[in-house]
């Protein structure tokens, strides 16, 4: 396999079998045809026809929209239709800097194909023999992607927090990184993709964006699992990390893209050693 395979996997969405999800006439997501039919049970909130699903036009503002969807989402969760409820609210917005049209439970976002945002941080060390990267292993009891490798710090971006503020919170909770160190992280890139989740029966879609940060840490620094999200951390030579990404599915699917971006920016993947270089650079920002 190749690095490009990971980008293609993250961008496996095709709109056949889906309907646009509209809020106030603007597309805010994608809904699987079968899920659209299920939403007909809540015609006070959703208008469903053969081509689109719309939030009811009587829901005019952030508060009324956010409140209206709570009932159907709770009911769908009780029926195990929506999985892994988080009690964490995400903004519904086409762009991070655009005011959200509403907020929605994190677990419901893929069912409506709503864009979610996240922060991912590469923690690395410079040694005489090169760059080393801190790699996390997700706890094996997690509901999502248990036991897979992950970036040193990563988390979804809830409504009401700034990006760096959230990164510092996640850093402390997941890895015991003190705020004064976490706030030294440098924003380096934005990665986008549109992924159909194959493990979701209703064809959940993630048209997501990841805000990526680099944090160079001292050689004597060691992250520590705190909140149970991470089982362990390992410091690995960057060439070994690159090989794992290139040759396996050991990392959570979207974390591969964060590392590929790091490898490109640090010259480990270059136009001279990878014929897919142009496709990789383009593919990291190809989400729609």
Can you give the pLDDT at residue 203?
67
Asked if residues 247 and 143 have their Cβ atoms less than 8 Å apart, the reply is no
Cα–Cα dist 147/138, whole Å = 5
Cα–Cα dist 189/18, whole Å = 30
Q: Could you tell me the sign of the dihedral formed by the alpha carbons of 163, 261, 133, 195, in that order?
A: positive
What CATH superfamily is the domain 3-11+116-283?
Nucleoside Triphosphate Pyrophosphohydrolase (3.90.79.10)
Whole-model pTM? 0.94
Burial of 84 (0-12, 13-18, 19+ CB in 10 A): exposed
Q: Where in the chain is the domain with CATH 3.30.750.160?
A: 19-112
If one counts every other C-beta atom within 10 angstroms of the C-beta of residue 11, the result is: 20
List, for the chain, all residue ranges whose pLDDT scores fall below the cut of 50: none
Q: Where does 19-112 sit in CATH, by number?
A: 3.30.750.160
Q: Could you tell me the sign of the dihedral formed by the alpha carbons of 45, 48, 53, 56, in that order?
A: negative
């Amino acid at each position: 396999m190749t690095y490009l395979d990971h980008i293609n996997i993250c961008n496996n969405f095709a709109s056949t079998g889906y309907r646009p999800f509209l809020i106030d006439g603007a597309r805010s997501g994608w809904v699987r045809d079968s899920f659209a039919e299920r939403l007909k049970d809540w015609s006070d909130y959703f208008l469903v026809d053969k081509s689109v699903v719309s939030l009811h036009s009587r829901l005019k503002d952030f508060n009324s929209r956010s409140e209206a969807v709570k009932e159907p989402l709770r009911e769908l969760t009780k029926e195990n239709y929506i999985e892994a409820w988080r009690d964490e609210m995400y903004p519904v917005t086409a762009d991070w800097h655009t005011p959200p049209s509403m907020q929605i439970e994190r677990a419901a976002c893929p069912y409506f194909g709503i864009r979610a945002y996240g922060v991912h941080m590469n923690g690395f060390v410079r040694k005489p023999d090169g760059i080393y990267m801190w790699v996390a292993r997700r706890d094996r009891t997690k509901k999502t992607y248990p036991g897979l490798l992950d970036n040193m710090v990563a988390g979804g971006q809830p409504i009401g927090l700034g990006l760096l503020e959230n990164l510092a919170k996640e850093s402390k909770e997941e890895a015991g990184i003190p705020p004064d160190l976490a706030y030294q992280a440098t924003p380096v890139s934005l990665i986008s993709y549109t992924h159909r989740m194959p493990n979701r029966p209703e064809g959940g879609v993630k048209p997501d964006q990841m805000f990526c940060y680099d944090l160079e840490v001292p050689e004597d620094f060691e992250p520590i699992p705190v909140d149970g999200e991470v089982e362990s951390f390992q410091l690995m030579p960057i060439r070994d990390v690159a090989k794992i990404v290139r040759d396996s599915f050991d990392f959570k699917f979207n974390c591969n893209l964060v590392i590929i971006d790091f490898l490109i920016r640090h010259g480990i993947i270059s136009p001279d050693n990878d014929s897919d270089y142009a496709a990789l650079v383009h593919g990291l920002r190809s989400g729609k």
